[in-house]
Amino acid sequence: MDFLIFQVPMLTVQAVLDGLLLGILFALIAYGMALQWGVMNIINIAQGDLVILGGYIAYFMYLYGIHPAWGVIVSPIIMYFVGVIIYKLVINKVVDRDLFISILATFGISILFMQLMNFAFGADVVLANSGYGTTMLFDNSVTLPNSKIFSAFISIVFAIGLVIYMKKSKLGRAIRATAQNARAAKILGVDTEKVYAATFGINAALCGVAGALISITFTIHPYMGLPYTIRSFMIVIVAGLGNLPGVAMSGMGLGVFEEFADYILGTEFRIGSVFLLLVLILVYRRFKLSKKREYLK
C-alpha cells in the first residue's frame, strides 16, 4: 500500500504539485531566516512562532468579517513593528555575541510567544476560510486548492519584491553592506543599529505574510510554530547562507521531498524525514569540507 504512488501515476503529479506549492511557502519563511542569519548572525528559533502570530492576525480579520486574504497586507505591517520591538528589547543585546547566546535568547522568545498566544487567543485550533474553491486537473484526478495556489503566488510576489528592494533601495543596500562587513559599513556611515532593527522587522514581516497564508491554507495553533522553524532552518542549511535562489530551490525541493516521504514511508515519517535529511546533509557537508584544502585564517 505504501507504494500506491507508483501504481497510480496521477498521484505522482499530485505529490509534485502539492510539494512545490508547499515548498514555495516554506521558502518564504526560510528567506527571512536566511536574511537575518546572514546579516546579524542570529538563528531565530522563534521564527515559527512569528509565523503563527502573523496567522492569528489574519484569523482575527476573518473573524471580524474582513476577507483573510487582506491579511497578507495587514499582517506584515503589524509584524514589522513586532519585529522591531523584539529587536529593541532583546536581540540588540545578543547581536554581537556568540551564536549560542542568540539561540538561547530566541528560544526564550519562542516559549514566551507560545504561552502569550495561548493565553491571549486560547488553545483552540483555528483557521480562516478564504472560500477560493478548487482547481481540478486531468479529469478531476488531480485537485489543487486555489488557496494553495494563491499562497504560492503571494509568496513569489513578496520574494521578488524583496530581492528588488534589496538591490535598489538605500536601506536594502545598507543591509547588504552590513552583511558583508558590519565594521566597514559602520565606518562608511551606515547606521548598523538601524539596519539590524530593520532586518529583524523585515524578517518578522515575511513571517507575517507566511502566517496569513498558512491560516488560509492550513490551520494555526499557538504551539504549532516549531515545525516551521525547523523547516526553514533546514532550507537555509541546504541552500547555504547568502544564496537566495538556492533558498527558493531548496524550499521547493523540501516540499516535494516531504510529499514523497509521506506517500512512500508513511505520514508518520513526514516530519521525521526532514530531520533525517538534515542530518544526512550536514554529514555530507562535513565530509566534503574535510576533503577541501583550505589555508588557515
Partner 1 sequence: MKIKNIIITFVSAIAILFSTSVVSLAKVVGDKIILGAAISLTGKYSSNGVHTQNGYNMAVDRINSMGGVKVGGKTYMFDIIYYDDESNPKRAAQLAERLISQDGVEFMLGPYSSGLTKAIAPVTEKYGVPMVEANGASRSLFTKGYKYLFAVLAPANLYLDVAIRTAVELNGGKGVRIAQAFEQDAFSQDVRLGILDAAKETGSKIIIDDKLPKELNDMAATLAKVKATKPDVLVVSGHTKGALTAIRQIAEMKVDVPMLAMTHCDAAKLSKQHGANSQYALCASQWHKTLTYKDDFFTDGMTYDADFTKEFGYAPPYQAAESSAALLVFKDAFERAGSFDQKKVRDALAATNMQTFYGNIKFAEGGQNVDKPMVLFQVMCDDAGKCENKVVAPLKWASAELIHPIPKWSER
Binding residues among 5-34 for partner 1 as defined by CB under 8 A: 8, 10-11, 14-15, 18, 22
For 289, other C-beta atoms within 10 Å of its C-beta total 9
User: Which residues, 6+ apart, have CB-to-CB distance to 19 below 8 Å?
Assistant: 252, 255, 256, 257, 258, 259, 260
251/31 Cα distance (integer angstroms): 9
Nearest distance, CB of residue 153 and partner 1, angstroms: 16
Q: Which of 246, 274, 221 is nearest to 114 (CA)?
A: 221
Binding residues among 70-89 for partner 1 as defined by CB under 8 A: none
Using the contact rule CB under 8 A, the part of the chain among 98-106, 160-168, 177-185, 264-272 near partner 1 is 264-272
Nearest distance, CB of residue 122 and partner 1, angstroms: 6
Task: Determine, following the binding rule CB under 8 A, whether residue 49 of this chain makes contact with partner 1.
Answer: no
Nearest distance, CB of residue 30 and partner 1, angstroms: 17
Amino acid at 197: A
Task: Determine, following the binding rule CB under 8 A, whether residue 136 of this chain makes contact with partner 1.
Answer: yes
Binding residues among 205-244 for partner 1 as defined by CB under 8 A: 218-219, 221-224, 226-227
Nearest distance, CB of residue 218 and partner 1, angstroms: 4
Q: Report the C-alpha dihedral over residues 259, 153, 249, 99, rounded to 10 degrees.
A: -100
- According to CB under 8 A, which one of 75, 202, 262, 277 is a site residue for partner 1? 262
Nearer to partner 1 by Cβ, of 122 and 161: the residue is 122
Grid cell, residue 8, equals 497510480
Grid cell, residue 257, equals 521531498
Measured between its terminal Cα atoms, the distance across the chain in Å is: 54
Task: Determine, following the binding rule CB under 8 A, whether residue 122 of this chain makes contact with partner 1.
Answer: yes
Cβ-count burial of 241 within 10 angstroms (0-12 exposed, 13-18 middle, 19+ buried)?
middle
Q: Which residues bind partner 1 (CB under 8 A)?
A: 1, 4, 8, 10-11, 14-15, 18, 22, 115, 118-119, 122-127, 129, 134, 136, 140-141, 143, 145, 147, 218-219, 221-224, 226-227, 259, 262-263, 266-268, 270-272
